């Protein structure tokens, strides 16, 4: 049976308590609510960024469409004005003047159609700009939430990191000088169980976690020397006898 000074075994309980606290702190750091909140906010921000890009592209495309429509109207208006001046001046043969009159009628119809197109594009342009502005406002508000949550996260994690560092220092001090074989056994068991290795045993009852002991185990514990390392048959924990 493995042996280690009884005092070192008792000190192992302090190391276990600090290791358990470190594990809890690490879990708190990994699962802090601000991390989940940030993940959700970031995902929403990415969606809004894509929506903002799409809205800006639509505004740009519609602006080009509006520019073309305005140019088309301007060209027809200019040509109609020029023809009207020629008609008013009576320059040309009667046949030419008659042709100008017919062309003016066609240009007037063309201008009316183009102005309707221009108006429709202007309305779409207004809607696209409003949508782009709304998405931009939402994104800016969300980015402010992200910045605020990041500050909360940084503050919370800094506090946890400080506590982890302090607890680790205490843990190192608690483990210093403990029998190396006992400490190695403790670490090996912790790795196997996921964290728990040393359990206080008062009489035949464990503390902190319930570990059933058979009658055979109880008899072996009762007859064991103070420096003998007792281990649970079912779980492999180190059972540290305390008075």
Is the Cβ–Cβ distance between 143 and 63 less than 8 Å? no
Q: Which residues of 68-87 are buried (b: 16+ CB within 10 A; e: fewer)?
A: ebeebbeebeeebeebeeeb
Domain boundaries, the chain: 6-241
| % of the chain with per-residue pLDDT over 90 | 79
pLDDT tier, 104 (very low <50, low <70, confident <90, very high otherwise):
confident
> What is the spatial distance between Cα 66 and Cα 128, in angstroms, rounded to a whole number?
12
> What is the spatial distance between Cα 185 and Cα 110, in angstroms, rounded to a whole number?
94
Encode 188-218 in three state secondary structure.
HHHHHHCCCCEEEEECCEEECCCCCCCHHHH
What secondary structure does DSSP assign to 135-181, as a single string? Answer: HHHHHHHHHHHHHHHHHHHHHHHHHHHHHHHHHHHHHHHHHTTS-HH
pLDDT tier, 7 (very low <50, low <70, confident <90, very high otherwise):
very high
User: Bigger pLDDT: 102 or 193?
Assistant: 193
pLDDT tier, 110 (very low <50, low <70, confident <90, very high otherwise):
confident
Please say if the pLDDT value at position 92 is more than 80: no
Q: CA distances (Å), 198 to each of 13, 14, 138, 183, 195, in order?
A: 6, 9, 54, 10, 10
> What is the spatial distance between Cα 105 and Cα 90, in angstroms, rounded to a whole number?
17
Task: Please state which of the ranges 75-79, 137-141, 212-216 shows the lowest mean pLDDT.
Answer: 75-79
Residue range 21-58, pLDDT digits in tens: 999 999 999 999 999 999 999 999 999 999 999 999 99
Q: Mean pLDDT of all residues in the chain?
A: 92
Q: What's the CATH code, domain 6-241?
A: 1.10.287.1490
Is the Cβ–Cβ distance between 150 and 35 less than 8 Å? no
């Amino acid at each position: 049976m493995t042996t280690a000074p009884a005092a070192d075994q008792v000190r192992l309980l302090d190391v276990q308590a600090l290791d358990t606290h470190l594990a809890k702190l690490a879990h708190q750091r990994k699962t802090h609510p601000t991390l989940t909140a940030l993940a959700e906010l970031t995902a929403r921000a990415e969606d809004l960024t894509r929506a903002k890009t799409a809205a800006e592209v639509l505004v740009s495309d519609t602006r080009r469409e509006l520019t073309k429509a305005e140019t088309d109207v301007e060209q027809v208006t200019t040509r109609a004005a020029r023809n009207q001046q020629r008609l008013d001046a009576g320059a040309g043969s009667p046949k030419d003047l008659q042709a100008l009159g017919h062309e003016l009628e066609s240009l007037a119809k063309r201008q009316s159609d183009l102005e309707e197109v221009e108006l429709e594009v202007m309305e779409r342009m207004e809607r696209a700009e409003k949508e782009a502005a709304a998405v931009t406002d939402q994104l800016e508000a969300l980015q402010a939430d992200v910045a605020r949550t990041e500050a909360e996260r940084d503050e919370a994690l800094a506090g946890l990191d400080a506590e982890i560092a302090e607890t680790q220092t205490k843990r190192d001090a608690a483990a210093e000088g403990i029998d190396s074989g006992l400490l190695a056994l403790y670490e090996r068991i912790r790795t196997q169980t996921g964290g728990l290795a040393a359990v206080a045993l008062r009489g035949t009852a464990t503390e902190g976690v319930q570990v059933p002991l058979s009658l055979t185990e109880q008899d072996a514990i009762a007859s064991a020397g103070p420096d003998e390392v007792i281990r649970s048959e079912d779980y492999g924990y180190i059972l540290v006898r305390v008075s």
